[in-house]
Amino acid sequence: MNVAAKIFGIIGVFFVIVGFVYGFWTEWTEWAGIPALLALGGMGLMIAWYLQATEKRYGQGVSDDEDGEIIAYAGTYGTFAPWSWWPLGLGLGCAVSFAGLAVGWWVFIIGAALSMFFCIGWVYEFSRGKYAH
């Protein structure tokens, strides 16, 4: 995690510097790009801080081992259901919501409701039916 923390720290510092340079370049008149660049820098630094803080708790990660092998990354990363239809429905709900921003608020509300329904279904997929705990 130390490598990842350094990478995100570099990314965060880069975007903060670019945000201030862009601000001076546009004479602080362009208020879309300046906050976006500074927010990117802040998010990069926030992720770097989180990775640095969790490194103390979990110790050295696989990517930090100088003599590490690719096989060290092997293992289970989570439980995924290849038969699940919930992600497809969630993607369609998000697409309807995004289209609703251009078409009208009533379409956006329908898409948001669909997205919430499919998101809740995906979260509780293993809590009911045949695969319940």
68-81: per-residue pLDDT in tens? 787 877 777 677 77
Q: For residue 75, tell me if it sits in a domain.
A: no
Q: For residue 118, tell me if it sits in a domain.
A: yes
Residues 7 and 49 occupy one common structural domain: yes
pLDDT at 69: 80
Residues 7 and 51 occupy one common structural domain: yes
Q: For residue 115, tell me if it sits in a domain.
A: yes
Ranking 47-56, 61-70, 103-112, 122-131 by mean pLDDT, the lowest is 61-70
Q: For residue 33, tell me if it sits in a domain.
A: yes
Residues 49 and 90 occupy one common structural domain: no
pLDDT at 59: 67
Residues 54 and 91 occupy one common structural domain: no
- Give the Å distances, CA to CA, from 85 to 56, 73, 77, 95, 111: 39, 29, 21, 16, 17
Residues 6 and 47 occupy one common structural domain: yes
pLDDT grade, residue 114 (50/70/90)? very high
Domain of residue 119: give its range.
86-131
Q: For residue 17, tell me if it sits in a domain.
A: yes
Residues 90 and 51 occupy one common structural domain: no
pLDDT at 131: 65
Residues 10 and 56 occupy one common structural domain: yes
What percentage of the chain carries pLDDT values higher than 70?
89
Q: What is the pTM of this model?
A: 0.54
Q: For residue 67, tell me if it sits in a domain.
A: no
Q: For residue 125, tell me if it sits in a domain.
A: yes
Query: pLDDT tens, 2-14?
Result: 888 899 999 999 9
Q: How many domains does the chain have?
A: 2
Residue 121 pLDDT greater than 70, yes or no: yes
